[in-house]
A and B are shown apart, each in its own frame.
Chain A
């Protein structure tokens, strides 16, 4: 993947256009700010000064500190109950395969088990959200999920690379996962005509995509990584794949004797259901329209406040019911998750009110919407970016409007 260095040049004209109407004082104030932050940067366009970002960061730190001090029995009981529910669904699912008429129920139960295991438990536990409990069964260093990607390798690409360099083009490998074109600033090539097809394949084989993600194939193609760099990853990866395949595609089907084909088909289906669900939830986290990407230049030596700012503008939420939040591992609160990746995810819904309120005060776009809306927005982007960027036409409007109101 190559990165075009200059970005968002078009939308930066927004604030300039309003210059005539602004009062002299406001103009002077804005000029002072613009002196400090380049208007071609996301923060510059949002009309924020470094001091604003610092204050915003401090507010977020206060929230973080407060929640850390509140952690206790309720959080522990919650995650343990989710684990109990997940194990119960898993056992029920495996057992129901002995009753052929209950096949759909078995698949449903096993799918729920895998979704809970991967999302509300696995993803969050491996983020270290429950490390404070000191329970090895819920510790980020010990936990591994029901997924072909070894937790150990996922933690590197996800917790470190993705969460530290969120939405920085050229650094965050989760922008398109090295396969898709998910941002206008990713240079187009004819390869991307297949964008929708690649997305469909990634959805169907999502757990495999996640597992292969750590091999950084796109960086090998680009010459930034050698195949030898992957060598240390193979043993763990193969071991995990062997274990997952043996369990789902051999042992459990064999245990049901003559029902082997049905059980095998059921296990394949449950993995598929989990793949489709996880893919859709995760794609709604960073790819709906209006989510910002950042350049390496504007994030070099960034302040803690700017890091928080980037997490907010680089993420999007999904609004919905408690059940949706549970089944998405609370990644429906992607914004709060990116602000506080190591706080228990069950806290995100309550935190979202405070975060949203702070965003309003600072004039930051808080990107949220119901699942169908966010999904549609993502799908549109997948199709639209299959083609080259249309000539310097009107850029996505929310940014320009926002820069205006903030000024």
Chain B
């Protein structure tokens, strides 16, 4: 079975087949027969969707069966998910993988919170159905455990930031890790607690995992260095992973200031900014930054002495298309504003509204 699969894979990835299907590539033909057939691209079928919380911004875990092209993942990594939304627009967002490390072609899970501003996350949590096909990247990211494993670990997380550290904990327990884990997690209230049953079982079992769940909106305290020191007096000498909202991550970074022990990860969310020219504009590739003048991004880049590629300067030729990583821009022709992170824009007709970062 696996040998037929590897032969099929070798044929599909052969240079002969690539030459025969040039310039479009094998996948452009395979997908027309079956979306789960692929030579290089990764897609996944939604197997099941289970609610984790039923709060105002509910959380659900999606189990995905990837195409055979999936190369597996290491606990702590994330994946880009492309989803075709109503209106035929595909949006791509990044989500952490919540299941234990997967082998090539193996099922895995994503645990996602439905964000108010996040069309993709709310669709996946509230409207996606089993059988639906999603577009994926391979697993990405360096927020992973080292090899060899240390015998003490600290995991700090807030809200849906629990997903990568949960994937790590699940992997460690599955693979027979015999060290100790301090697992400190913040959720607004017990009702917001993701994986409540599993964490209760983890806490009760004799497995070397100390689970501490704090619910600030239900009387718990916000994160402090002292609280961490009480749970793990030697925390500054222990490798730690923190994932959650930017505010929590900043506090944790303070607690670890001066050590090399901490790895952090936090997620970008769409900005909400409407108004006139304000804030500052950052051109990330060149490292230039300046106050937003309200002119188009192309003009502002040129004013700083950059020479981005451009053509018509009127929005028709797409020569100047660049990636906006953060911030809101207004199309100067249509007046339309767009606040999505990691979006391709034509800089000749896009003016920033507030802070904005562009890969130029």
Closest to B90 in A: A134
Q: B319–A155 contact, CB under 8 A?
A: yes
Docked complex Cα distance between A141 and B346 (Å): 12
Q: Is A274 an interface residue (CB 8 A)?
A: no
Is the Cβ of B87 less than 8 Å from the Cβ of A155?
A: no
Residue of A nearest to B88 (CB): A76
Interface size class of B (residues with CB under 8 A): 20 to 34
Which of A13-21, A225-233, A239-247, A326-334 makes up part of the contact surface? A239-247
User: Least Cβ distance of B320 to chain A in Å?
Assistant: 10
Contact B316 A341 (CB under 8 A): yes
Q: A87-B29, A87-B32, A137-B28 are in contact. Are A160 and B312 (CB under 8 A)?
A: yes
Task: Mark out the residues of chain A between 290 and 324 whose CB falls within 8 Å of any chain B CB in the assembled complex.
Answer: 304, 307
Q: A100 at interface (Cβ–Cβ under 8 A)?
A: no
Contact A163–B316 (Cβ < 8 Å):
yes
Which residues of B, 5-29, contact A by the 8 Å Cβ criterion? 16, 19-20, 22-24, 28-29
Interface size on A, residues (CB 8 A): 46
B89 partner residues in chain A, CB cutoff 8 A:
132-134
Given A144-B23, A244-B22, A247-B22, are A160 and B88 also a contact pair (CB < 8 Å)?
no
Could you say which of A156, A247, A304 contacts B319, with CB atoms under 8 Å apart? A156
Q: Fill in one digit per residue for A158-187: 1 if any B CB lies within 8 Å of its CB, else 0.
A: 011101100000000000000000000000
Minimum CB–CB distance from B216 to chain A (whole Å) comes to 38
Q: Given A68-B334, A73-B87, A240-B23: A134 and B318 within 8 A (CB)?
A: no
B317 engages A65 (CB within 8 Å): no
Q: B317 touching A164 by the CB < 8 A rule? A: yes
Nearest residue (CB) in B for A75 is B88
| Residues on B with beta carbons closer than 8 Å to the beta carbon of A75 | 88
A342 at the interface (CB under 8 A from B): yes
Residues of B within 8 A of A156 (CB): 311, 319
Is A145 among interface residues, defined by CB-CB distance under 8 A?
yes
Residues of A within 8 A of B88 (CB): 71-73, 75-77, 133
Instruction: Determine which residue in B82, B88, B315, B334 has the highest number of CB atoms from chain A within 10 A of its CB, and name it.
Output: B88
Determine if A243 and B23 form an interchain contact, defined as CB atoms under 8 angstroms apart: yes
Find the A residue at minimum CB distance from B91.
A134
Whole-angstrom distance between the alpha carbons of A133 and B344 in the complex?
Answer: 12
Chain B residue nearest to A140 in the complex (CB): B318
Q: How long is the Cα–Cα vector from A71 to B336 in the complex, in angstroms?
A: 14
A35 beta carbon closer than 8 Å to chain B: no
B56 within 8 A of A: no
8 Å CB contacts to B: which residues of A107-157? 127-128, 131-135, 137, 140-141, 144-146, 151, 155-156
- A255–B84 Cα gap in the complex (Å)? 38
* Cβ-defined partner of B314 (8 Å) among A65, A72, A164, A251: A164
* A159/B90 in contact, CB under 8 A: no
CA distance A127 to B32 in the complex (A): 24
**Are the C-beta atoms of B318 and A128 separated by less than 8 Å?**
yes
Q: Which of A65, A146, A155 contacts B334 (CB 8 A)?
A: A65
Interface residues of B in 300-341 (CB under 8 A from A): 311-312, 314-319, 321, 333-334
**In the complex the two chains form, is B82's CB within 8 Å of A164's CB?**
no
B20 touches A134 (CB 8 A): no
Which 4 pairs, one residue from A and one from B, show the smallest C-beta to C-beta distance?
A160-B311, A76-B88, A134-B90, A159-B317
